[in-house]
Amino acid sequence: MLPQKDGLSLSPAKVFSIFIFHLLIHLNRAESQVVGPHQPVVALVDDDVILPCHVEPAEDVTAEILEWTRSDLNPRFVHVWRSGQDLVNTRNPSYRGRASLFINELKRGNISLKLSKVKLSDEGTYECSIPLMEKKSFVKLVVASDAATSPVISLSGIDKNRGGVVLQCESAGWYPEPELLWLDGEGNLLSAGPTETLRGPDDLYTVSSRVTVEKRHSNNITCRVQQKKISQNRETHIHVPEDFFEVPSSSPSVIIGLAVCLALCIMLLISSAAVLLCRMKKHKNNRSPEDQTDVGGAEVPLRGSSPKTKNKTSCWPITWTSKLQEEQKRREEAEKNLQDIKEERAAGSTVHDGGGRSL
């Protein structure tokens, strides 16, 4: 028996039991973990959201110091529980009146945080911790906007070169930044221009894009705007009437064909003009006064062109046999006329006057 104190006595067995009890409590706390969600928590603007966090295995943490913080804030405290009460003055002003714990759940190890009227600025990574136990966990919050509008598709223009229709799609009120896709009637992704993104003063995104739709893509077109992080999407369908599609006004083959035809026409015109001009000159020469030769002061008309005549005009190209024969005949007649003139001059008589001059 142990000595009595204040009328009480503790047996060795009872002391040993108390020791084992405290040892088990210490070991149990050493094995305790603060556990949070493995996936990000998604919340919509103006909604309430719960950031899960609990102690495992479950135990009463009412008497513990509990902290929710964000390292990117100053001050970093979102919510602090100490000595059985909330420390309102220590938390960041943006969370005052919006962050709270489930007081009745603390005895079961539930230290989840509730955020009311979520803002876009609430997005971030939160730390849930019990400092004295040196235990903590992290919770990522993704904030999205449900104000996103359905995409609006409009006709932007006509691509005459490709015979296609240029469509524009626009959607506003997104957060986080979404992606915009164009799909044809079979659900195939269309190649479109880069997506233009504009972030407004309210931190919400407006996206727009253009695509040229050709007739081969089918007339049913879909514009889809989606945000995969929050599994949110909006889409709009449109049917493009047949008469919006135009046959291309020109193509490389048509242009080449027209150029060749034009070149041939020009060459034909030049050749025709040259032949016509040549014929006109030849006709003019045939109608001009016949060449004349001075014989003893007398002019003797020639019935043909002299071999030395300067008017040797020929038309190119002349390949007809009849033309050659006609030219040969004229040349023979000219030579004959020249021979006759020479004979007449040789046979002419000489007249002598009184002065002995010969005329």
pLDDT of residue 333: 79
Q: Is the dihedral of CA 133, 134, 137, 143 positive or negative?
A: positive
Residue 156 lies in a domain: yes
In a domain, 319, yes or no: yes
Residues 140 and 158 reside in one and the same domain: no
> Are the beta carbons of 152 and 169 closer than 8 angstroms?
yes
- What is the end-to-end Cα distance of the chain in Å, rounded? 193
Q: Are residues 133 and 161 in the same domain?
A: no
Q: Is residue 125 part of a domain?
A: yes
> Where does a domain end: 114, 144, 174?
144
Structural domain tally of the chain? 3
Q: Which residues contact 176 (CB under 8 A, 6 or more apart)?
A: 142, 144, 205, 227, 229, 230
In a domain, 17, yes or no: no
Is there a single domain that holds both residue 139 and residue 159?
Answer: no
Domain closes at, from 198, 224, 244: 244
Q: H or E stretch including 174?
A: strand 164-174
What distance in Å separates the CA atoms of residue 192 and residue 209, rounded to the nearest whole number?
7
Cis, bond preceding 75 (omega within 30 deg of 0) = yes
**Could you tell me if residue 101 is inside a domain?**
yes
| 115 lies in some domain | yes
> Based on the domain organization, do 202 and 134 belong to the same domain?
no
**Spatial distance between the Cα atoms of 225 and 27, rounded to a whole number of angstroms:** 53
Q: Answer yes or no: do 237 and 138 share one domain.
A: no
Q: Name the 3-class secondary structure at 76.
A: coil
**46 and 133 both lie in a single domain:** yes
Tell me, what's the pLDDT at 297? 43
Looking at the structure, tell me whether residues 163 and 113 fall in a common domain. no
Residues 122 and 183 in one domain: no
Residue 34, number of CB atoms within 10 A of its CB: 22
Q: Is residue 172 domain-shared with residue 139, that is, in the same domain?
A: no
Domain boundary among the residues 110, 144, 178 is at 144
DSSP string of 110-167, one letter each residue? B--EEE-S--GGG-EEEEEEEGGGTEEEEEEEEEE-S-PPPPEEEEEEEETTTTEEEE
User: Is 265 within a domain?
Assistant: no
The structure tokens listed for 65 are: 């110091």
Q: Is 14 helix (H, G, I), strand (E, B) or coil?
A: helix
Q: Is residue 82 part of a domain?
A: yes
Pair 61, 87 in one domain: yes
Question: How far apart are alpha carbons 104 and 253 in whole angstroms?
Answer: 82
Identity (one letter) of the amino acid at 10?
A: L
Which amino acid does the sequence have at 261?
C
Q: Please, which residues bridge with residue 315 across strands?
A: none
User: What pLDDT tens digit does each residue of the chain (359 aa) get?
Assistant: 444 444 445 566 665 565 554 444 444 455 789 999 999 999 999 999 999 999 999 999 999 999 999 999 999 999 999 988 999 888 999 999 999 999 999 999 999 999 999 999 999 999 999 998 889 999 999 999 988 999 999 998 888 777 788 999 999 999 999 999 999 988 899 999 899 999 999 899 999 999 998 876 568 999 999 998 888 999 999 998 877 776 555 555 666 777 777 877 887 788 777 777 777 776 666 654 544 444 444 444 444 444 444 444 455 444 445 666 676 677 777 777 777 776 776 665 444 444 443 33
Residue 272 has which token pair? 């025709």
CA separation for the pair 41, 303 (Å, rounded): 118
Same domain, 137 and 78: yes
Residue 277 has which token pair? 């001009």
Phi-psi group of 108: left, alpha or beta (phi > 0 → left; psi -120 to 50 → alpha; rest → beta) = alpha
Q: Are 138 and 166 found together in one domain?
A: no
Range of the domain at 130: 28-144
- Domain CATH number, residue 43: 2.60.40.10
| Whole-number pLDDT of residue 82 | 93
Rounded CA gap, 324 and 333, in Å? Answer: 15
**Token representation of residue 164:** 């296609």
Q: Which two tokens stand for residue 302?
A: 């020639």
Beta bridge partners of 142: 42
Angle at 321 between CA 319 and CA 323, to 5 degrees: 80
